[in-house]
Amino acid sequence: MKVLSVVGARPQFIKAFPVSRALADAGHEEVLVHTGQHYDEEMSDVFFEELGIPEPAYNLGVGSDGHVQQTARMMTGLADLVEEEEPDCLLVYGDTNSTLAGALVAVQTNRGLVHVEAGLRSGNRDMPEETNRILTDHVSDVLCAPTAEAVRNLEAEGLEERTVNTGDVMYDAALWARDQAREHSDVLDRLELDDGGYVLATVHRAANTDDPARLEAILEGLASVDEPVVLPAHPRTKSRLEEYDLWDLATEYLRVVEPVGYLDFVRLLDGADRVATDSGGVQKEAFFLRTPCVTLREETEWVETVEAGGNVLVGADTEAIEAALARTDWSYGGGEPYGDGNAAAAVADSLSRL
């Protein structure tokens, strides 16, 4: 089968890494398309280099813009490619604007559509990601759900016939990366951090970065920690810290560094005493690596991590962040809710449902 896979944002390069391999192993022909949503070297190229994913066959170079303009440019570029490449199906990941653009183009050009990481719901319709994932799920032909909870969400919306529980492809990627990172990453030496002696933080959600009061409250919470706090800053966060005059506060108390590559990030997460994050992917990776996670949001799609006791939701409340980071009672439950590390092969198999 000829598959046109659409990626564009950092977490999608990581998700594509095990899936591209599995598609090739299963004998499918893949045309990998990068929309260009993320374009800085450390937000894009670094992942292709270190993960050994083939360079995308096409890069649409859409860059940053408003949601409408960005999504529209992606759709136009993808529609041209569908005409040129004539794929049997499109495959999209997660919940970004690149996901939605790929989904709408698949429907409008009468191609099959496979959604990897289907069925996630935060219940917060103010997040652009929630709209992207709901719309994508409802027009997909094959819904690759990473967890039993995601399957239940899809059943509740009447989508069970198109759903398959594949497990989570990020778990496949993280298992590989953990071992590679322990062996090859020198990030702790470079940043002069002691294993187990620092807190890792990431912040990039629009709701946190684009609200100066929330961003400041988060910084204050992180500043309360006695250990070094390292913050690999997403470009969006860096520009907001400057815009809101919070740069000095951030750099006085935190080690603000450029975003790091995947292996370095996994090493940082593996060696951290705690992580504070508003990322979806990082919450899960923290769970895989058994690093206690303090989530800087009011809700999460990855409810299993909270139910097991390895993740706590604190929003942007300074005192709650401080208290959660000081907690010592973390647990991880008995089972493995994210599959057995072979999700990518299950995604490749799921194409037979088209």
Scanning 49-57, 93-101, 113-121, 268-276 for contacts with ligand UD1 by CB under 6 A, the matching segment is 93-101
Q: Where in 191-220 is the site for ligand UD1 (CB under 6 A)?
A: 204
Of these partners, ligand UD1, ligand UDP, none, which one is at the site of residue 39 (CB under 5 to 8 Å by kind)? ligand UD1
Of these partners, ligand UDP, ligand UD1, none, which one is at the site of residue 93 (CB under 5 to 8 Å by kind)? none
Q: Closer to ligand UDP by CB, 73 or 238: give it.
A: 238
- Secondary structure in 3-state letters for the chain: CEEEEEECCHHHHHHHHHHHHHHHHCCCEEEEEECCCCCCHHHCHHHHHHHCCCCCCEECCCCCCCHHHHHHHHHHHHHHHHHHHCCCEEEEECCCHHHHHHHHHHHHCCCEEEEECCCCCCCCCCCHHHHHHHHHHHHCCEEEECCHHHHHHHHHCCCHHHEEECCCHHHHHHHHHHHHHHHHCCHHHHCCCCCCCCEEEECCCHHHHCCHHHHHHHHHHHHCCCCCEEEECCHHHHHHHHHCCCHHHHHHHCEEECCCCHHHHHHHHHHCCEEEECCHHHHHHHHHHCCCEEECCCCCCCHHHHHHCCEEECCCCHHHHHHHHHCCCCCCCCCCCCCCCCHHHHHHHHHHHC
Catalytic residue from among 28, 115, 204, 234: 204
Of these partners, ligand UD1, ligand UDP, none, which one is at the site of residue 40 (CB under 5 to 8 Å by kind)? ligand UD1
Which chain residues interact with ligand UDP by CB under 6 A? 10-11, 14, 202, 204, 232, 259-262, 265-266, 279-282, 285
Scanning 84-92, 231-239, 285-293, 327-335 for contacts with ligand UD1 by CB under 6 A, the matching segment is 231-239
> Should residue 69 be labelled a site residue for ligand UD1 when binding is judged by CB under 6 A?
no
Of these partners, ligand UDP, ligand UD1, none, which one is at the site of residue 146 (CB under 5 to 8 Å by kind)? none
Q: How far is the CB of 192 from ligand UD1 (least distance, A)?
A: 26
> Should residue 39 be labelled a site residue for ligand UD1 when binding is judged by CB under 6 A?
yes
> Should residue 128 be labelled a site residue for ligand UD1 when binding is judged by CB under 6 A?
yes
204 assigned to active site: yes
Of these partners, ligand UD1, ligand UDP, none, which one is at the site of residue 235 (CB under 5 to 8 Å by kind)? ligand UD1
Q: Closer to ligand UD1 by CB, 11 or 271: give it.
A: 11
Give the active site residues.
Answer: 204
Residues interacting with ligand UD1, by CB under 6 A? 9-11, 37-40, 43, 64, 95-97, 128-129, 204, 235-236, 239
